[in-house]
Chain A
Amino acid sequence: MTTFPHAPGFVAGERPQIVTERFQYEDSYTLERYRATGGYEGLRKALQQPSSAVHEEVKSATILGRGGAGFPAGTKWGLTPQGVWPRYLVVNGDESEPGTYKDRLLMERDPHQLIEGCLIACYAAGLSQCFLYIRGEMALAQERVAAALNEAYAAGLVGRNVMGSSFSVDVVLHWGAGAYVVGEETALIESLEGNRGMPRLKPPYFPAAIGLYGKPTIVNNVETLSNLPWLMRNGSAAYTAIGTKTSPGTRMVAVSGHVKRPGVYEIVNGTTTFRDLLYGEEFCKGIRNGNALKAFVPGGGSAPWFTADQLDLPFEASQVGPAGSMLGSGAVMVMDETTDIPAAALTLTNFYAHESCGKCTPCREGGTWLQRILTRVVNGDGTTEDLAQLVEVGSMICPGNFPHASSERLGLAAVPFPYKMTTICFVGPSAYAPVHSALTLFPEEFAARVKHRRTIPVTAVGAPA
């Protein structure tokens, strides 16, 4: 268990490391260190095989997308329509889901690993140009990736005839300008085309069919691509030997909030449980001040909440889904017994209401309604009708039963993930998720809020003459 001042938040341990291997070195972002530690060997191995063999290798490793949806990378690459070129690769480095902190570390600490991953993907899937889209607010990540690209171009590793081979591809660095919704893949493409970053109507469901400039486009997350160099160096058998059959490999998880040691951990996929993560000595070491756990968000701000009842679930989508939530982007936010639940939910609803792009009415209006009503409740000015109104507005964004965790304390059974939605993307439902979780799992806190109203309604009527 070690931390490094140069990699703020990252905690290493006695566990298999795939993407964070080099974080121990202060100069891990330089080409020199990268090469000295096996860098670009995966690419060399890839180029020594036909591209179809590389694609097969990635398919058999079942690398689940780490951006949120968990779709296997190799399968996604195969969804492009036959015979249509050019095809593009767009790298999603827009990391801004509340609680998520991993892609930025990968870009700041190991930019060459990401670049190598991009090249392997382009080679395997026959992609003609790559755009590496970094979130606007990440100045250091932009600098590190720019410097790494410059080094790699100069060393003949990117661009014309990579490593002297017949494979040529450019990687163009691009960055955004602050908008959460741009992380949604079709919005990312709109943004890259120079437009307002609004998600596109579905179908087509995958930009693999129609993407950037209307051409087949693969969108992959930074962490997903960062797995490829190790995979090509060590083979898919070594990769699938870690984790479980359905969730092989590792994943980076950021645990924040009221734990003794918040941090970013590379954990073994599928087997590590939330209890290990929150209480384990090699992880977060328990709740701060020895307090009791009240609730936690298991997969980024969009995910329905869990309580202590779900601690023994592993990081495995097939188990977290039926339990009423999702793993999302590898972000756990922990609330101890001192947390004011309605106020905590409000911070997330504020976020999603603020980030709505305004394209769908239920999200644009509903998010704002949720935000206003919840603000009133949190401030102590809410009524019982307000609580009903929250659910009513929520049901217009997500009709039917909204997923939630079971609760022994309340005698509740779980409602499995996912939900139905009336919006184009998940921003709308995400504004409701924290409200619904908080109301369902902690109804007494809301009841108390509306019972002890802070103010007496006053009608401003002029005094009679």
Chain B
Amino acid sequence: MSRLSDDNVKLSREIIARYPRPKSALVPLLHLAQEQDGYVTREAMVHIGELIGVTSAEVYGTASFYEMFRFEPVGKYLINICGTMSCALMGAHELMHRAEEKLGVKAGGTTSDGLITLAHAECQAACTEAPCLQVNYRYRYRVTPEQVEQLIDDLRAGRLAEEIPSHGTLARVRQSVSAERFVGAVSPDVEAAQPSWLAGKAAL
């Protein structure tokens, strides 16, 4: 239930500066909010709207289009089991059954201790490694039902805490560019000349 922290506001300003128009930073800032709180809060959406100069309704309008944004708390770990063709052909349904049984929740549900949310997912671009799943968007390949059980045990025992950050955190390495090296966002609103390197001479 919070607005973005001071650190995240600073980061937001850096991100916004990379785009020709502030609204382009909307999805990246939503990720930042989700990283901060585990899901996207109303307050964060209002705050993001202020930062990029759009209404909070517009922020929600965009946010609600995308599958990854959650507007209610989810488990610390989100297990996404792929069920699209290649995974289905290789036994994805069996994985889902086993996970549901072991967790005692149906796909879409969260365990009562708030640790794990189980969800159906669509193709995860790992089709040759089917069946596959992701925990907070970290992959597990060629998974057997036994491995699903082991995975859940490991998550419960905190054995994967290092490898897998809490839900909301995607890349742990961010792009960061020093001011001297950055050319600067190229605005579409300023009539620009032909780039100098097109003038016909080699650039180097």
Which A residues have a C-beta under 8 Å from some C-beta of B?
8-9, 44, 47-52, 83, 85-86, 88, 95-101, 103-104, 123, 126, 128-129, 135-140, 142-143, 146-147, 149-150, 153-154, 156, 158-160, 162-170, 172-180, 191-198, 212-215, 254-258, 262-264, 297, 301, 331, 333, 335, 339, 343-344, 347-348, 350-351, 354-355, 357
Contacts and interface: CB of A to CB of B under 8 A. Distances in A.
A159 B202 contact: no
Contacts of A339: 89
21 contacts: A50-B200, A99-B123, A100-B125, A100-B127, A104-B125, A137-B124, A137-B137, A143-B173, A153-B177, A160-B181, A165-B197, A170-B182, A170-B184, A196-B62, A197-B65, A213-B188, A262-B128, A333-B127, A335-B89, A348-B85, A351-B84
Interface stretch (B2-10, B13-21, B98-106, B154-162): B13-21
A264 to B, nearest CB: 6
Q: Tell me what chain A mostly uses at the interface: helix, strand, loop, or mixed.
A: mixed
Contact of A355 (B54, B122, B192): B122
Interface of B: 18-21, 23-28, 30-31, 52, 54, 61-62, 65-69, 80, 83-86, 88-90, 122-130, 134, 136-139, 141, 170-178, 180-189, 191-198, 200-204
A256 B198 contact: no
A49 B141 CA distance: 45
Q: 8 nearest interchain CB pairs?
A: A178-B67, A177-B66, A194-B23, A194-B26, A142-B171, A213-B188, A47-B204, A256-B127
B95 to A, nearest CB: 14
B21 A193 contact: yes
A264 B128 contact: yes
B70 to A, nearest CB: 11
A39 B195 CA distance: 25
B85 A98 contact: yes
Contacts of B193: 85
A256 B185 CA distance: 41
A47 B203 contact: yes
B20 A213 contact: yes
Contacts of B27: 174-177, 191, 194
Contact of A213 (B21, B125, B176, B202): B21
B129 A8 contact: yes
Contact of A153 (B89, B123, B181, B186): B181
A168 B80 CA distance: 41
B84 A348 contact: yes
